Amino acid sequence: MLKINNLNANIENKSILNGFSLDINPGEIHAIMGPNGSGKSTLSNILSGKKGYEVSGEILFENKNLFDLETEERAHKGIFLAFQYPLEIPGVNTNIFLKTSLNAIRKARGEKELDAIEFLKLVKQKAKELKFDEEKLKRQLNVGFSGGEKKKNEILQMSMLAPKLSILDETDSGLDIDALKIVADGVNTLRNKNNSFLIITHYQRLLDYIKPDFVHVLMNGKIIRSGGPELAIELEKKGYESFN
């Protein structure tokens, strides 16, 4: 599904990713763990098409060159990024935003756009599953939401849009244990043999609830070790320094 070959990324002449390679097949969950400044967020930004990076190498998503696609086209093709810091968008009603987003993606996929009633039915059901307060959907997008509510809103968006590849950029940071379980449930519900996940995290904690197929250690812009879930436990015990 996703093939990253020898990806290099610079920002203002500073090298962030340096020969990064990764293959993700349909149905797999990959976790990337790494210390601060190892390039985790840069990776998720580049996968989503954020501007401002100088990049070389190759990223193929379902055999298409990702660099040829704009941010919104990547979303249409099924890439979703749950933001580390979801943005507050004043004056934009959460429901309107969700409906605009969902219908933009459905339209690009050649599916019928949902009318207001169909949309509300779907969003209510998803909000209920994720124990997301429905009243918040009537409010401005992320404005005045707590850190945990913002993260849950990201997972709600993910489950509404049903992407093929979901990238969770430190979605677990700042979450209490109940919220962490809800986020994990969201991922586990969406998990099937076609959908893949890339979970970026500092800690092993989230991986107690979402069982990854592969764990990778990212340091200085490249993967220095890959393994199964046991690698996360080893990291938690020994710290990143021992891998350097």
Partner 1 sequence: MSEQLQSDFDKLVKTSKFSSEEIKFKKNFLDNFIKNGFPNRKQEDWKFLDISQIIKKNISDLSFFNDYSQSNKIDPSFLVDGLEHNKIIFINGKIEKIDFNFEDQNKIEIIDKTKKDISFDYENSLIDLNSAFIDKVFKILIKKNYSLKKPLIIYHLTNDKIKSTNINLRLDFELAENSCLKLVDYFANTTAKNFINIFYNFNLEKDSILKNYKIDKFRNNNLKYSFNNIEQDNNSVSETFILSAGSDYFKNEINCNLNGEYSSAFINGIFSLKENQQHEIRTTINHLVENTKSYQLIKSVLGKNSKSAYQGRIFVNSKAQKTDGYQLSKAILLDETSEFNAKPELEIYADDVKCSHGSASGSLDENSIFYLMSRGLNYQQSKELLINGFLMDVVEKITDVEIKNLIINIIGLKQ
Provide Rg for the chain, Cα atoms. Answer: 18
User: Is 18 an interacting residue with respect to partner 1 (CB under 8 A)?
Assistant: no
Residues 138-157 that bind partner 1 (CB under 8 A): 140, 157
Decide whether 139 or 205 has the Cβ nearer to partner 1. Answer: 139
9 Cβ neighbours under 8 A, 6+ residues apart? 15, 16, 17, 20, 39, 42, 43, 46, 53, 54, 55, 221
First to last CA, the chain: 30
Question: Least distance (Å) from partner 1 to the CB of residue 91?
Answer: 3
User: Is 72 or 118 the residue whose CB approaches partner 1 more closely?
Assistant: 72
Where do we find the tokens 């979801």?
A: 86
Q: Using CB under 8 A, pick the residue from 18, 93, 173, 220 that binds partner 1.
A: 93
Binding of partner 1 by 104 (CB under 8 A): yes
Residue pair 149/136 in contact by the 8 Å Cβ criterion: yes
Strand 140-141 and strand 165-169: the pairing is unpaired
Please list every residue from 26 through 85 that binds partner 1, using CB under 8 A.
Answer: 48-51, 70-72, 74-76, 80-81, 83
What's the rounded Cα separation, in Å, for the pair 172 and 148? 9
Helix (H, G, I), strand (E, B) or coil at 50: coil
Residues 182-241 that bind partner 1 (CB under 8 A): none
Nearer to partner 1, 39 or 86 (CB): 86
Residue 100 engages partner 1 in binding (rule: CB under 8 A): yes
The residues binding partner 1 (CB under 8 A) are 48-51, 70-72, 74-76, 80-81, 83, 86-87, 89-93, 96-97, 100-102, 104-105, 108, 140, 157, 161
